Chains A and B, each alone.
Chain A
Amino acid sequence: MTRPDCHDDWMPYLEGGLDPETRDAWTAHLQSCPACAGCLERDRQILERLRRVEPALADKDLRMTLRARRAEAADPVRRNWLWAAAVFAAAAGLAGLWAAGFWDGSGIGVKSGPDGDERWTGIRVFSAPAGGEVFPLASGPLPAGDLAFTYTNGSPRPFSHLMILAVDEAGRIHWFFPAFLDAAGDPESIPIAAGREERELPERVRIHPAPGRLRLLALFTRTPQRISQVEALVRDLTARGRWWQADRLPVPDSHQQILDFTVAP
């Protein structure tokens, strides 16, 4: 490097780490600076070595081995059943103590406990097809495409966390919130803000449910809940054939809202 505008590190130039103007200036500088051209070549070679395929793994095909290994893989549902039995036994004793909610099936403004302090707690579901018009959904046919959600959390004693899930006719659980992106994880319900204004949840989500009934449940709580805990409660109800009749999960200090949809074949 011989000039003040010389650079020793050309990695950002090669890897798209510069804004267009800076990149143009560096390109112009290269034309007249053999020292920098040398540095560029040195860095280019390092990146090329990093991209080179490791020969010992180049032709490796994992499919046969994985076929054998996955036969040994335990079905996660089985493990959940054992856990569900224990959780439900404990929860069932408490279930009778909680006041039941009343569902009007249309979203925000759901009636609730005797003092009405959850009147302003609820969600609304919207169909949000790509490039199409967004419109709110009440119970009924579920259109194909993305769904968007808003919530209101305006009771005097607001809730702090929210989960939204759905169970389809085949008994499969679909999670809207929290996002389930880590195979090894057990995420918690998402934190929510308090207030009577309607707030949009950040993501649009698409699910592919089995045809038939689809029951969507919004679970507002004052402590975070784990996906595994809620799944265990849902699976217990579905196993006993009571999911479609139940109007809430046995979760203490919660506000719950159910929306029933139908999914066309």
Chain B
Amino acid sequence: MGEPAASALSVRTAEDLDQLSDDALMLRLREGCPEAFDELVRRHQRGALQAAFRFLGCAAEAEDAAQNAFLNIYRRRDRYQARGCFRAYLFRVVVNEARAKLRQRRRQQATLRRLEEEPGTTAAQGVEAAGDEPLQRALSRLPVRQRAVIALRFGADLPLQDIARALRLPLGTVKSRLFGGLQNLRREIQGEPA
């Protein structure tokens, strides 16, 4: 008799893992294969970072949000259901983490404003934007609901159907938020000083 089949898990190589679907990787992770998580991060980190950046407009905050999203998924690995929707699942968590960052930022800015009002204190305002600053400023003026759809569409390159799944919205709502958001974005950009 040979070794039990379970031991095959421990000799899986990175080369094997990159052949597996996202669902299969989550199942490997549940079975105790941490390399499966590394592979999921490798596959999706770029989309998660860029989507968070388009939403937040700050590279440092985007990195934090993406990290927190992946950690959240790692912590809840036992509860994942393999239904072929990993991307939607991941990007829902990314959007939630980005929203949490936004709330945190607003609280900090409120504190800073209060500090500034006190005599003898000074405080920096706002978040340092990176890259295409006029674009990010224009994005930051959009309603959060429109910004989330735009971030997933252009940051993570998600199809509209996946965005609908991720945000748990009907496809029609996703389309109207996307095109309404893009229209608003153009107006904002046109209103920006050159």
Contacts A15-B178, A57-B49, A60-B45 given; does A172 touch B73 at CB 8 Å: no
Query: 8 tightest CB-CB pairs across the interface, nearest first?
Result: A50-B154, A56-B59, A183-B76, A11-B182, A57-B49, A54-B131, A54-B53, A183-B72
Decide yes or no whether A69 CB sits under 8 A from chain B: yes
Q: Given contact pairs A52-B132, A54-B130, enumerate 14 new A-B contacts (beta carbons under 8 Å).
A: A11-B186, A42-B186, A47-B154, A53-B50, A54-B49, A57-B53, A57-B59, A57-B62, A60-B45, A62-B70, A181-B88, A183-B93, A208-B82, A227-B79
Chain B 35-53 per-residue mask, 1 if CB under 8 angstroms from chain A, else 0: 0011001100110011001
Contact A11 B59 (CB under 8 A): no
Docked-complex contact A9 and B80, CB < 8 angstroms: no
Chain B residues with CB under 8 Å of A265's CB are 5
29 contacts between A and B (CB under 8 A): A11-B186, A12-B179, A15-B179, A15-B182, A43-B186, A50-B154, A51-B154, A53-B46, A53-B50, A54-B131, A57-B53, A57-B62, A61-B45, A62-B41, A62-B45, A66-B70, A66-B74, A67-B38, A70-B34, A70-B37, A70-B74, A73-B74, A74-B75, A172-B30, A182-B92, A183-B80, A183-B93, A184-B72, A206-B82
> What is the distance, in angstroms, from B101's C-beta to the closest C-beta of chain A?
14
CA distance A265 to B132 in the complex (A): 54
Whether B33 sits at the interface, judged by CB under 8 Å, is: no
How many chain A residues have a CB neighbour from B under 8 Å? 48
| In the bound complex, CA of A49 to CA of B54 (Å) | 11
Interface majority SS (helix, strand, loop, mixed), chain B: helix
Which residues of the partner chain B approach A180 to less than 8 Å between Cβ atoms? 79-81
Q: Whole-angstrom distance between the alpha carbons of A265 and B4 in the complex?
A: 10
Binding site for A on B (CB under 8 A): 5, 24, 27, 30, 34, 37-38, 41-42, 45-46, 49-50, 53-54, 59, 62-63, 66-67, 70-76, 78-83, 85, 88-89, 92-93, 96, 130-132, 135, 150, 153-155, 157, 175, 178-179, 182-183, 185-186, 189
| Known A-B contacts A63-B41, A203-B83; A172 and B182 likewise in contact (beta carbons under 8 Å) | no
> Which residues of A sit under 8 angstroms from B72, Cβ to Cβ?
183-184
The reply to whether A50 and B150 form a contact with Cβ atoms under 8 Å apart is yes
**B41–A76 CB distance below 8 A:** no
**Chain A residues, CB < 8 A from B45:** 60-63
B89 and chain A: residue at smallest CB distance: A181
Complex Cα–Cα for A114 and B19 (A): 55
With both chains docked as a complex, state the minimum distance between the C-beta of B69 and any C-beta of chain A, in angstroms.
8
Nearest to A208 among chain B residues (CB) is B27
Chain A residues with CB below 8 A from B27, complex form: 208
Residue A243, interface by CB 8 Å: no
B164 → chain A closest CB, angstroms: 13
**Given known A-B contacts A50-B54, A50-B154, A11 and B75 have beta carbons under 8 A apart:** no
Q: What are the residues of chain A within 8 A of B50 when measuring CB–CB? A: 53-54, 57
Is there contact, CB below 8 Å, between B135 and A183? Answer: no
* B-side contacts of A206, CB under 8 Å: 82-83
Is A46 in contact with B189, judged by CB distance below 8 angstroms?
A: yes
Most buried by A among B24, B49, B132, B135: B49
Q: Is the CB of A66 within 8 A of B96?
A: no
Does A11 lie within 8 Å of B130, measured CB to CB?
A: no
Residues of chain A lying within 8 A (CB to CB) of residue B92: 181-182
Q: Write the chain B residue with the least CB distance to A205.
A: B83
Report the bound CA distance from A5 to B63 in whole Å: 45
Given contacts A15-B178, A50-B154, A206-B82, contact A76 B49 (CB under 8 A): no
A181 touches B179 (CB 8 A): no
Q: Is the CB of B175 within 8 A of A17?
A: yes
Q: Is the CB of A55 within 8 A of B54?
A: no
User: Within the assembled complex, what's the spacing in Å between the Cα atoms of A42 and B38?
Assistant: 40
Smallest distance from the beta carbon of B119 to chain A beta carbons, Å? Answer: 37
